Structure 1
Amino acid sequence: MLLLARTEFIQRVSDSVLNQLLDKLLERGVISDEEMQSARTKSTADKARDVIDSVRRKGSEASSFLIAALCQLDPCVSRELSLR
């Protein structure tokens, strides 16, 4: 599901939402501190690309958590991307 929404996610998600997603992913143990620090130094599009690709590689549980967090943080974008 994330693969289908990847391009739109990169184009639409805001930097503020990405930073909140990074915090949630770190708290949950989906990403490491190093992954979070690396992503935070990048442009918004590159940060979005890193987040979605890293989470997708970690499997369905990590992907489901990202989707749930995005739905909570930005319901508008999650609806536009058909993520539920």
Structure 2
Amino acid sequence: MLDQLLLARAEFIQRVSDTVLNQLLDKLLERGVISDEEMQSARTKSRAEKARDVIDSVRRKGEEASSFLIAALCQLDEWLSRELSLR
């Protein structure tokens, strides 16, 4: 999963919508993948910076966190997850 996110990183940063990012942040917080402080910090940034923060912080947290991010993205934006070859 880490490799999948690394390969999809640039496209994810460029193409994910702000709406999907905010929903991902909510899901990541609910699951305990990110802290409230990490979520609040990400929400203050531009869309691209927020996307970069989300994917990089989740990748650093390992396989389980990465798998959860991929599953959540597939649920929230099936088209983008297919385009990024994330399943």
TM (norm. structure 1) is 1.00
Q: Which runs of 5+ in 2 are unaligned?
A: none
Q: Which runs of 5+ in 1 are unaligned?
A: none
Paired with 2:19 and 2:6, the residues of 1 have a C-alpha distance of 22
Paired with 1:42 and 1:80, the residues of 2 have a C-alpha distance of 25
Where has structure 1 moved over 4 Å in runs of 4 or more? Answer: none
Quote the residue 2:41 is aligned against: 38
Q: CA RMSD in A?
A: 0.2
Residue 52 (structure 1) aligned with residue 50 (structure 2)? no
Aligned length: 84
SS across alignment from 1:45: helix
Paired with 1:44 and 1:77, the residues of 2 have a C-alpha distance of 16
TM (norm. structure 2) is 0.96
Quote the residue 1:13 is aligned against: 16
Percent identity over the alignment is 89
